[in-house]
Amino acid sequence: MSDGFRKVAIIGLGLIGGSLAAALRARGMADSIVAGGRSARTLERGLALGLIDAGYQNLAEAVEGADLVFVAVPVSAMADTFAAIAPTLAPGAIITDGGSVKGAVIEAARAQLGAHRSRFVPGHPIAGKEKSGVDAADAALYERHRVILTPTPDTDPAATLVVRQMWTRVGAEVLTMRPDEHDRVLAETSHLPHLLAFSLVDTLARQGDSTEIFRYAAGGFRDFTRIASSDPVMWHDIFTENREAVLAATDLFAAGLARFRAAVAAGDSDALLGTMTRANTARARFLAMNARTSYTHIHTEQSMSTDSHSTGAPANPVFVVQPGGQLSGQARVPGDKSMSHRAIMLGALAEGVTEVEGFLEGEDALATLQTFRDLGVVIEGPHAGRVRIHGVGLHGLQAPSRSLYMGNSGTSMRLLMGLLAGQPFDCELTGDASLSKRPMERVAQPLRDMGAAVSTTDSGGKGTPPVRIRGGKPLKGIDYNMPVASAQVKSAILLAGLYAQGETRVTEPAPTRDHTERMLTGFGYPVQRDGASVTLNGGGTLRACQLDVPADISSAAFFLVAASIAPGSELLLPHVGINPTRTGVIDILRLMGADITVENERDAGGEPVADLRVKSAPLKGIVIPEALVPLAIDEFPVLFVAAACAEGDTILHGAEELRVKESDRIQVMADGLLALGVEAEVYPDGIRIRGAGQGNAAFTGGEIHSHGDHRIAMSFAMAALRASGEIRIHDCANVATSFPGFAELAARVGLQLAVQQ
């Protein structure tokens, strides 16, 4: 499109047609806009509202000389409309439509538009509202709504481009689909729900005294049946014109309804809970997709208008943090990520129902939860950190019907590789862009030694996801000396060991987190620990139990550093897990001079917990003892922020593992520090950071790229406390993988953080 259209003719001046006229007018996209329609009253209203310059009851007259014609009449009237306008269409005129069914409209266009048919671009704006008619026309109706175009092989691509640009300019998001695919998808997601709503209300209304029934009907009935108020004539047309696809969708639903009925009749609780928990998750995902945010972020539901799907703005949040400030009060950080993963895994393999409190509702742990649902396990929740897992026993998992998606979560993938290696079925494990670059051979190779059939994807010899596992391979125990200090590798081998013949023994080069060993013991599974080695025998039984997941020390670490570096701060972090294999961050900060007290130490189901109190203190640079590296492996990004505030240099070696986390955390942190004016020297296995010392701003303001790594984003947010200018951190959606609610919590205790969507 050059500057705009000379003349646009809208045929059918209702809500859809009138709103396009209003939108084109508001943006000055047409020299003249006219309308054609049967009702003289409607055309007069269009003129009075200033939507159109002229109105014609004779459609042939309306389209004369128009370079764009938008046909927005009911689908059943399309054929007659095309026949009426074809003789007077200008050569080269582009015709498009707003019909909710595409197959039937395309047929009508083929039959009636003659030579003009290649300039017909079939379209469907997915927008609407409860009110109809020209008086409801709204120039903003299409903003942030989807328009589906379904060009056929006959459609002139130049015409499609013009129509696409027109919709984009009025604010819509344009998608392209095959016409039959459009009709099937719409039948399932729009036509079927309307059919059900009409049918339910009518069925109940036919029963005896319907006023009695409706008197007791509450919010659920109102929500479910809202769309039964839609225009019967329009929906008559849709059900008639999209007959085949509507019938197929109705049959699909009838089969689902029959399954549900059978479960109710048989009192089959697992089937009932399974159906409903799967539906809960699927709906949360759908809402998240629509809002284009992470699916843990759905607190309020979007209002959806008749025959419409709302779409939110594309969201990869930016953290905007103002410099300075101090922290005070209490911050209860979410549940431990490592323990949340293991709670789901072991709960699923146990006999009986395991109840979990404090479960982390972050995307990584939810990826594990979803995977077990895909493997046939019924899991209730999470609701406010509570989860009930209906264990299926060591041999009760079922083959998944699709590949298992782990999102961003390395722990899910590595631990599940071990667990799935012992199953009788095949499966494939996939992940997001970051996880797809991470090394998986470190787990695959010892699993092969146990007899498993595991393959990774080569990607330049790195052995990355997708990971494929062939089931039905008998496993045998091994005695494995781990070359890297990795709790994930250790845990994967132990989980495979549950299915192996004989004894499985893993020896680690340095202590790593031992939640798997502790939790197996909690589930009544015998595990022997002897120095650096852990041993178990296959073929035992896990018994369901109750678990209380403490707050995650890796999430608490951001606040430990923040309160340490911001003068005048004092913060209490309650109920934090202080397992000695996780407390390296406290040891390192204390070596740097931090003021952290561990109060009220107690035991929570086999894991030590305490309240941590931290007060600001002058920090000094140190050489970080290498023995502490595996015990603080996830906390280095924020420890680097502490180092930049300390007096003198801080030096880290022996931390090459940081390069294969969610991002290359040595390089990405060094780049960020540099962008904020901090001097840093990178080593293959670590970094040297020059600190600014107490009383000085340690960072300038600036722009940070988190590379989709949650811990990088949160670390640089805390840096603002000692910055001289605003820090903007891009790409923060993944903060939800480990710390949903981070921004709100940090702001509540004093960080001047705002989230820009």
Where do contacts with ligand S3P occur on this chain (CB under 6 A)? Answer: 338, 411, 486-488, 491, 513, 633-634, 657
Residue 272 is encoded by which pair of tokens?
């009932």
- Of residues 183 and 364, the one with the C-beta less far from ligand S3P: 364
HEC string for 334-397:
CECHHHHHHHHHHHHHCEEEEEEECCCCCHHHHHHHHHHHHCCCEEEEEECCEEEEEEECCCCC
Length of the chain: 757
- Of residues 246 and 498, the one with the C-beta less far from ligand S3P: 498
Cβ at position 743, least distance to ligand S3P in Å: 21
Task: State the virtual CA torsion across 124, 130, 135, 136 in degrees, nearest 10.
Answer: -60
Cβ at position 509, least distance to ligand S3P in Å: 12
Residue 350 is encoded by which pair of tokens?
């146990």
Cβ at position 493, least distance to ligand S3P in Å: 12
Rounded Cα distance between 738 and 361, Å, is 8
DSSP class of residue 549? Answer: P
User: CA dist 525 to 391, 494, 606, Å?
Assistant: 15, 12, 14
User: In the Cβ-directed half-sphere of 704, how many Cα atoms lie within 13 Å?
Assistant: 38
DSSP codes joined into one string, 671-703 = HHHHHTT--EEEETTEEEEEEE-TTS--B--EE
Cβ at position 421, least distance to ligand S3P in Å: 17
Cβ at position 110, least distance to ligand S3P in Å: 58
- Of residues 655 and 687, the one with the C-beta less far from ligand S3P: 655
| Cβ(61)–Cβ(87) below 8 Å | no
- Of residues 51 and 487, the one with the C-beta less far from ligand S3P: 487
User: CA dist 594 to 278, 566, 585, 643, Å?
Assistant: 46, 12, 11, 12
Identify the three-state secondary structure at position 200: helix
- Of residues 373 and 513, the one with the C-beta less far from ligand S3P: 513
Which amino acid is located at 707 in the chain? H
HEC string for 402-438:
CCEECCCCHHHHHHHHHHHHCCCCCEEEECCCCHHHC
Give residue for tokens 């396990």: 377
User: CA dist 541 to 347, 348, 368, 521, Å?
Assistant: 12, 12, 21, 11
Cβ at position 134, least distance to ligand S3P in Å: 58
Cβ at position 416, least distance to ligand S3P in Å: 12
| Cβ(392)–Cβ(377) below 8 Å | yes
DSSP codes joined into one string, 1-59 = --S-EEEEEEES-SHHHHHHHHHHHHTT-EEEEEEE-S-HHHHHHHHHTTS-SEEESSH
Rounded Cα distance between 167 and 142, Å, is 8
Rounded Cα distance between 699 and 212, Å, is 69
Catalogue the E-assigned strands of 228-323: 318-321
- Of residues 116 and 582, the one with the C-beta less far from ligand S3P: 582
- Of residues 238 and 348, the one with the C-beta less far from ligand S3P: 348
Identify the three-state secondary structure at position 573: strand
Given 611, 634, 709, 731, the catalytic residue: 634
Cβ at position 438, least distance to ligand S3P in Å: 9
Rounded Cα distance between 360 and 170, Å, is 41
Task: Give CA 557 to chain center in angstroms.
Answer: 25
Cβ at position 408, least distance to ligand S3P in Å: 11
Count CB atoms within 10 A of the CB of residue 626: 14
- Of residues 354 and 412, the one with the C-beta less far from ligand S3P: 412
Cβ at position 529, least distance to ligand S3P in Å: 16
- Of residues 551 and 720, the one with the C-beta less far from ligand S3P: 551
- Of residues 249 and 417, the one with the C-beta less far from ligand S3P: 417
What angle in degrees, to the nearest 10, is found between the helix axes of 363-374 and 337-349? 10
Kindly give, in sequence order, each residue whose CB lies less than 8 Å from that of residue 305, ignoring residues fewer than 6 positions away: 127, 128, 129, 130
Reply yes or no on whether 634 is catalytic.
yes
Rounded Cα distance between 581 and 691, Å, is 28
- Of residues 655 and 745, the one with the C-beta less far from ligand S3P: 655
Kindly list the catalytic residues: 634
